[in-house]
Amino acid sequence: MIDIEDMSSQDSKRTRVFAVIQALIVTVLWSSSFVIIKFGLEDIPPLTFAGLRYSIASLVLLTLILAQPKMRSSLRTRSRRWWGMLFLYGCIYITATQGTQFLGLFYLPAITFSLLLNLTPIIVLLSAIPMLGEKPSLLETIFILLGVFGVFLYFYPLDFIGVSIFGLIIGIVSLLANSASAVIGRAINRARNTPSLVVTGVMMSIGSLFLLFMGLAVEPIAPLSSLSWFYIVWLAVMNTALAFTLWNRAMQVLRAVDMALINSTMMPQIVILSFVFLEEYPELLDWLGLILLALSVTTVQYFQTKRLNNTPDS
């Protein structure tokens, strides 16, 4: 006789594992963005670069949304509060987070900027407790802190000689915006009452308009080469339209802290890509820090999947 509860448990585990895989695929795409952006910034002003990327991506997503009756109907039933949350989400996740990311990569090395973003989990951990009521276990907290320690170990001893102070300020702003967007995105997506494609398309359209307007207002306009347009279109379609949709789907299953930890796997990926394409070379202590970070992510995901049946989905 088939146990219905066992089948439901297996389905839940498969759903969670699939969400983790989706999120990890997104980190691969986003990690490659750091290298592509560094190359593109040689010819494209940062805010204009970011604005074009996300504007084109939002057009792709809106086309997909409007082409499907089910997606269109989901927009008609949304409340003012929902639209307000999407407006806030777009402004923070696209305008603030992504705008400062392009600026940060303009002034800082890719690995230095990645270090700042990898401090996101500890901020999300603190903010998600009162805002979302998501409380990680003591063991999870230990491994989260172990991952953060690995990030600091990577850059030990901390030496910012020759690093742009303005770039560091932008990096800190990007860190705070990225942390806030993780919590807001989780609050929106965990309701599971709106297709992730709609959430992504609407919030990205809002944020990209502000970002593009800012870029065109403060940066010089110059003709772009075919290679520059290739960078923009690739980032827009693959690393943005596709990646953000998968990311929002994963957020419907995983918690804010889980998503932040998976996002932290971008650190070793960026280091490897920077090693190959940007000629930035980690040392022995750097690799040890990366191993600790990877251990942190893997272990927390293992415990979350193992105790899924004993803990209500938050």
- The answer, yes or no, to whether residue 3 has pLDDT greater than 70, is no
Q: Are 59 and 208 in contact (CB under 8 A)?
A: no
Does residue 193 belong to any structural domain of this protein?
Answer: yes
Enter the tokens of residue 311.
């803990």
Can you tell me which residue has the tokens 């290298």?
35
Candidate from 31-45, 79-93, 180-194, 203-217 with smallest mean pLDDT: 180-194
Neighbours of 214 (CB within 10 A): 16
User: Average of pLDDT values for 13-35?
Assistant: 90
Percent of the chain with pLDDT over 90: 38
The domain total for the chain is 1
Share of the chain above pLDDT 70, in %: 83
Is pTM beyond 0.85? Reply is: no
Residue 12 lies in a domain: no
Q: Is residue 4 part of a domain?
A: no
Query: Does residue 11 lie in a domain region?
Result: no
Q: What is the average pLDDT score of the chain?
A: 83
Q: What is the mean pLDDT of residues 189-218?
A: 88
Q: Are 19 and 250 in contact (CB under 8 A)?
A: yes
d(CA 204, CA 65): 13
271 neighbors 111 (Cβ within 8 angstroms): yes
Average of per-residue pLDDT across 305-314: 47
Contacts of 257 by beta carbon, 8 Å cutoff, 6+ apart: 121, 124, 125, 128, 134, 136, 140, 144, 300
Residue 7 has pLDDT above 60, yes or no: no
300 lies in which domain range?
Answer: 22-307
Q: Is residue 164 part of a domain?
A: yes
Q: Tell whether 196 is covered by a domain.
A: yes
Question: Which pLDDT belongs to residue 34?
Answer: 93
- Range in 20-24, 44-48, 115-119, 248-252 with the lowest mean pLDDT: 115-119
Q: Tens digits of per-residue pLDDT, 84-130? A: 999 999 999 999 999 999 999 999 888 888 877 877 767 776 676 66
DSSP-based three-state secondary structure for 42: coil
Contact 23, 247 (CB under 8 A): yes
The reply to whether 2 falls in a domain is: no
